[in-house]
Amino acid sequence: MTPVLGRYLSAFTGSLALHAALILTLAWPLRTVLPRPASAAPAPPSVAVFAVPLEDEKFPGLKPVPSGSAARIEPLDQDSAVVSIGDFKFDASKLVERADVLFPFLSPGLSLDHFAIHPGDERVLIYERPAPVRAAGQRGALPPLQVSDRAIQALVDRTWSRRERWTAFQPIAELARHYNATDGDLPLVFQRYTDQNALQPYRDMEIRDPRLWTQLGLAADHVSFIGFIREYAAAHPGTRGAIDLLFLLDRMAEASEDALQTLLDCNPEGDLQWTRSTNRDAYRLALQLRTYYRAQMSRLDIPTRSALAGHYARTRLAILEGILRTTPDGYRAGDARFLIGAIHWRTGRPSEALAAWRAITVVPGDSHRAAAEELVTVLAADAANHDPAQLARQITRVLQRDFGRWWDSSYDRLKQFGYRFDTY
């Protein structure tokens, strides 16, 4: 699995070059009711008709994957499945198995109605997989997780991974099955995992091959996380735990865009010379994946990198706005508004960005509390001394400082586990 000042923070993966470029952009900123028959006779009760949102049978939370959509992606045999570059080894067979859902935020896309982000819409009750929600106080209700802050940090450290994020996440997934979604410390576990483990910067070594294969491997795990989040949010709608996992979903969308840009920007002949010389089948796979997702962009009328960024921005806004609609008692609403504003700012909609930020209430415990406090101060000062140019510069500095905090903490976290930005 894979910051954005431009698109605000990020990835389960990130790109140093992409981040640096994005910093420069900051200153630019059915239900239908059947009609009653025209008759004097008493009309029968109206009947509500709903369109059940479509979802893929194999991959919960995704729109249906067209059959045979990735048929041209050729399998790897046993000898070519492992990409080996010095001490770096990567099993590429998972990329073939999940070729058509490697970048699910693009294709086939999320089926967001299945994440319970529309309160009052009866469609959120239509789920086959999740178990019935047990209300607090009900016999057999899940108990609250009650552990020390030190124990939470130890768990988050234990689930940190540079690669194979889904496997490393399993201790937290197991806790989710046994503890309350609102009361206790489980939501804090989700939040801290997202803040500390889910987004890590990646930088090229002397060759690009290891970084590309690592990011593709993380992307292949996204569908597993998406399915977990979808089923949890459906089983526990409007809870703190569901809200924290929706923030993790948003973070994965950032990671997905970073990884896809890495693949699309790659010049295989120049950037993957090691793979080409040592494993021609794996090199062919990289070419085929690049061709396949360019075709998906064309199918969706996404012709440019800018258009792709817009697609991901709309997806993230839908997730974050769903958080605002469903969060209990304003839980982490400030974080959602901060991120919504950052997306609007990056995509050239400063009015929408300022509207989101002006609605922020600073709350202790929010992940972006420090930046939110700075924004509140900046906006209050601007109300008295209206100067759009100065305001833009100040907002840019706020976002740069927020990015810098993430960058510094990422450096420290990687060092803690014996890694650097360019090791995998």
pLDDT for 411 beyond 80: yes
Contact of 82 with 108, CB cutoff 8 Å: no
Q: How many Å apart are CA 376 and CA 360, to the nearest integer?
A: 8
pTM of the model: 0.86
Of 243, 259, 233, give the one whose Cα is nearest residue 336: 243
Q: How many Å apart are CA 391 and CA 310, to the nearest integer?
A: 24
Q: How many Å apart are CA 27 and CA 420, to the nearest integer?
A: 30
Q: How many Å apart are CA 88 and CA 205, to the nearest integer?
A: 12
Q: How many Å apart are CA 368 and CA 412, to the nearest integer?
A: 19
**Range 16-27 average pLDDT:** 40
Please give the single-letter amino acid code of residue 137. Answer: G
**Range 206-213 average pLDDT:** 91
Looking at residue 222, the DSSP 8-state letter turns out to be H
Contact of 412 with 157, CB cutoff 8 Å: no
Task: Assess whether the previous peptide bond of 108 is cis (omega < 30° from 0).
Answer: yes
Is 84 strand, coil or helix? Answer: strand
Q: How many CB atoms lie within 10 A of CB 138?
A: 10
Q: Where are the alpha helices (DSSP H) in 5-82?
A: 16-25
pLDDT tens for residues 277-324?
999 999 999 999 999 999 999 999 999 999 999 999 999 999 999 999
Which tokens hold the place of 362?
């600073």
pLDDT tens for residues 148-165?
999 999 999 999 999 999
Q: How many Å apart are CA 142 and CA 153, to the nearest integer?
A: 22
Contact of 197 with 221, CB cutoff 8 Å: no
| The residue to which tokens 């990422």 are assigned | 410
pLDDT for 31 beyond 90: no
Q: What is the pLDDT of residue 291?
A: 95
Looking at residue 350, the DSSP 8-state letter turns out to be H
**Which residues of 247-384 form beta strands (DSSP E)?**
none
Which tokens hold the place of 384?
């008295």
Q: What is the pLDDT of residue 359?
A: 97
Return the minimum-mean-pLDDT range out of 34-48, 84-98, 105-119, 161-175: 34-48
Contact of 161 with 418, CB cutoff 8 Å: no
Q: How many Å apart are CA 1 and CA 14, to the nearest integer?
A: 10
Q: What is the pLDDT of residue 383?
A: 86
Alpha carbon 70 to its chain's center: 23
Which helix (H) or strand (E) covers residue 202, if one does? Answer: strand 201-202
pLDDT for 167 beyond 50: yes
Which helix (H) or strand (E) covers residue 49, if one does? Answer: strand 48-49
pLDDT tier, 42 (very low <50, low <70, confident <90, very high otherwise): low
For β-strands 48-49 and 14-15, DSSP reports them as: unpaired
The CA-based dihedral angle spanning residues 304, 306, 311, 314, taken in that order and rounded to the nearest 10 degrees: -160
Q: How many Å apart are CA 37 and CA 252, to the nearest integer?
A: 50
pLDDT tens for residues 332-364?
999 999 999 999 999 999 999 999 999 999 999
Percent of the chain with pLDDT over 70: 83
Residue burial 218-236, b: 16+ Cβ < 10 Å; e: rest: bbbbbbbbbbbbbbbbbbb
Q: How many Å apart are CA 345 and CA 397, to the nearest integer?
A: 13
Residue burial 163-185, b: 16+ Cβ < 10 Å; e: rest: bebbebbeebeebbeebbbbbbb
Return the minimum-mean-pLDDT range out of 21-35, 134-148, 215-229: 21-35
pLDDT tier, 68 (very low <50, low <70, confident <90, very high otherwise): confident
Mean residue pLDDT of the chain comes to 86
Q: What is the pLDDT of residue 111?
A: 95
Q: How many Å apart are CA 323 and CA 122, to the nearest integer?
A: 18
Contact of 232 with 116, CB cutoff 8 Å: no
Which tokens hold the place of 265?
């920007």
pLDDT for 329 beyond 90: yes
Q: How many Å apart are CA 154 and CA 68, to the nearest integer?
A: 44
Which tokens hold the place of 317?
């806004």
Q: How many Å apart are CA 24 and CA 6, to the nearest integer?
A: 8
Of 320, 88, 373, give the one whose Cα is nearest residue 214: 88
For β-strands 32-33 and 82-85, DSSP reports them as: unpaired
Compute the Cα dihedral for 192, 195, 199, 202 and give only its sign.
negative
